[in-house]
Amino acid sequence: MGMQSQQEKELAEILVNALDLEDIRADEIAPEAPLFGFDAPDSLGLDSIDALEMSLAIAQKYGVQLKADDENNRQIFSCLRALTTHIHNPS
């Protein structure tokens, strides 16, 4: 999988705090592990409510608006690395 970059570590901390992930430490989130769904063994198993909470936390911290109707959301929220890339390099 690979190690978290500094930006990924920061975002992982925000996610753990915003979502009250009690059983997961930020440094345990693999950068390329799926954030959503329960079918992948290394997935965090997040859901649409979690996505809303993540979007709010990201908007507060980074000023980046993630819209619910964005056709790229599946890719943006696919993993910690993709989300970090989108926040720091929006297209």
Q: Provide the whole-model pTM.
A: 0.89
Alpha helices in 19-79 (DSSP H): 48-62, 73-76
The per-residue pLDDT for range 18-63, each reduced to its tens digit, is 999 988 999 999 999 999 987 777 788 899 899 999 999 999 999 9
Contact yes or no for 43/35 (Cβ under 8 A): yes
Question: Dihedral of the CA atoms 65, 63, 24, 17 (nearest 10)?
Answer: -120
- In whole angstroms, give the CA distance from residue 60 to residue 3: 26
Q: Residues with Cβ < 8 Å from 43, sequence gap 6 or more?
A: 33, 34, 35, 36, 37
Q: What is 6-88's CATH topology?
A: 1.10.1200
Please report, for the chain, the start and end positions of each structural domain, with discontinuous segments joined by +: 6-88
What are the tokens at 28?
């345990």
